[in-house]
Amino acid sequence: MRAAAARGEVVGVWTQPDRPAGRGRQLAPSPVKVEALASQLPVFQPENFKSEDAREQLRALKPDLMVVVAYGLILPQAVLDIPAQGCWNVHASLLPRWRGAAPIQRAIEAGDRETGVCLMQMEKGLDTGPVLLSLATPISDTDTGGELHDRLSALGAEVLSDGLKLLRAGMRPVPQPQPAEGVTYARKLDKAEARLDWSRPANELANKVRAFNPWPVAEAQLAGERLRIHAAQALAGGSGMAPGTVVSASRDGLDVACGDGLLRLRVVQRDGGRALPVADYLNARPALATP
C-alpha cells in the first residue's frame, strides 16, 4: 500500500468501522485502516453506502478504479458505477465455484484438490461478475484454512498487480463471463458448525478440522470432556466400535471410531488450556493411554 501511495495511485481507502475486539471489547481499527494511516492515506469508514453522503465522498475523489478485497459488504450499483473503470474484486476461489463469504474454508471442507484466486469485474450480483484474470493452486491433504488463506493472499496480490500493469499499459484485461454450470456458494462460517459428528466418515471430519483451523476450530465431546481439535487425519479401516469411542491412545494420536474409518487426533485443546500434541495431553490423562 505504501509503494502504491508513493506512485500516487491510491486516492482513498474504505474499510468497515472500528469494531470491539479483545477481552476489554475496546474499539479497534482494522489492519487495513492501520496500514492506510501509516501510509498517510485518507480513510473512510461508512456503515454502508446507502446514504448519498457516503457515495459523494467516493464520487468527489473521481477514482479511475475501485479495488475490493474482503470488504464484507455488498456494494450497490450506484457505487459500482462511480469509478471510470468500475470496481474489481479479488476473490479467493476459481469462480463460479465457491461464490460467497467463506470460499477458502468451504473448498477444504468439500475436499477440493484445487482452488485459486480470480480478479473479477464487479456487478450487482454476489460474485457473479466476469473474470478478468485468475491463478490456481493445489490444495494438499495437510493444508489448513489459515495456511491456504496466506497462500491465496499472496496469489491475490499477484493477480491484482498483473491486472493493474495491463490497465496502465492500456491493455485492459478482457472480461470472461462465468459459466452457468458449476456454481456453488460458500456460506459464512458459524461456530455451531464446529461440533464434530462422529457418525460421519473420518475423511469428512478430517477436512472439517483442517478447514476450521484457525477459526472457529473443530470441537467434540470425547472421553468425558470437550476438546477443541486443531489437527487430525483420517485412517482407513474400521474398529467395530460405536462412533465416538476412543479405539487407541498413544503418542501418535487418539484414534476415534467414526461412521466410516478412524479419525486420529494429533493436536487437541482442553477447556481453559492451550493446544497440545496428544502425547502431552496424555500426560494429564494417563488412564486413556493404550498399550
Name the grid cell of 58.
Answer: 467516493
Question: Which residue type is seen at 144?
Answer: T
Same topology for domains 65-186 and 191-288, yes or no?
Answer: no
Tell me: cis bond preceding 201? Omega within 30 of 0 counts: no
161 annotated to bind ligand: no
Measured from the Cβ of residue 8, the count of other Cβ atoms closer than 10 Å reads 7
The pTM assigned to this predicted structure is: 0.93
3-state SS assignment for residue 3? helix
Q: Tell me what percent of the residues of the chain surpass a pLDDT of 90.
A: 86
Measured from the Cβ of residue 93, the count of other Cβ atoms closer than 10 Å reads 24
135 band by pLDDT with thresholds 50, 70 and 90: very high
Domain boundaries, the chain: 1-45, 65-186, 191-288
The sign of the dihedral angle between the CA atoms of 119, 123, 128, 130 is negative
Q: What is the pLDDT of residue 4?
A: 52
**Class of the CATH-defined domain 191-288:** alpha beta
Q: Please give the backbone phi and psi of residue 37, each rounded to the nearest 5 degrees, phi first.
A: -65, -40
23 band by pLDDT with thresholds 50, 70 and 90: confident
Look up cell 465431546; give the residue. 221
Per-residue pLDDT reduced to its tens digit, 154-204: 999 999 999 999 999 999 899 999 999 999 999 999 999 999 999 999 999
Q: Is 118 a residue whose pLDDT tops 70?
A: yes
Q: Is 3 a residue whose pLDDT tops 80?
A: no
Q: Is 7 a residue whose pLDDT tops 70?
A: no
3-state SS assignment for residue 166? helix
Q: Is 24 a residue whose pLDDT tops 50?
A: yes
Q: Is 92 a residue whose pLDDT tops 90?
A: yes
Q: What is the pLDDT of residue 55?
A: 94
Strand pairing of 66-68 and 87-91? parallel
Strand pairing of 19-21 and 131-138? unpaired
74 band by pLDDT with thresholds 50, 70 and 90: confident
Q: What is the pLDDT of residue 6?
A: 42
Measured from the Cβ of residue 101, the count of other Cβ atoms closer than 10 Å reads 16
**Class of the CATH-defined domain 65-186:** alpha beta
95 annotated to bind ligand: yes
Q: Is 22 a residue whose pLDDT tops 90?
A: no
State mean pLDDT over 225-240: 93
Q: How far apart are CA 46 and CA 27, in angstroms?
A: 15
3-state SS assignment for residue 161? helix
State mean pLDDT over 84-107: 97
3-state SS assignment for residue 2? helix
Q: What is the pLDDT of residue 1?
A: 53
Q: Which of 152, 95, 150 is nearest to 118 (CA)?
A: 95
Q: How far apart are CA 261 and CA 60, in angstroms?
A: 61
199 annotated to bind ligand: no
166 annotated to bind ligand: no
Residue 100 burial (10 A CB sphere; 0-12, 13-18, 19+): middle
Name the grid cell of 99.
Answer: 461464490
Q: What is the pLDDT of residue 260?
A: 96
Question: Which residue type is seen at 90?
Answer: V
Q: How far apart are CA 287 and CA 78, in angstroms?
A: 64
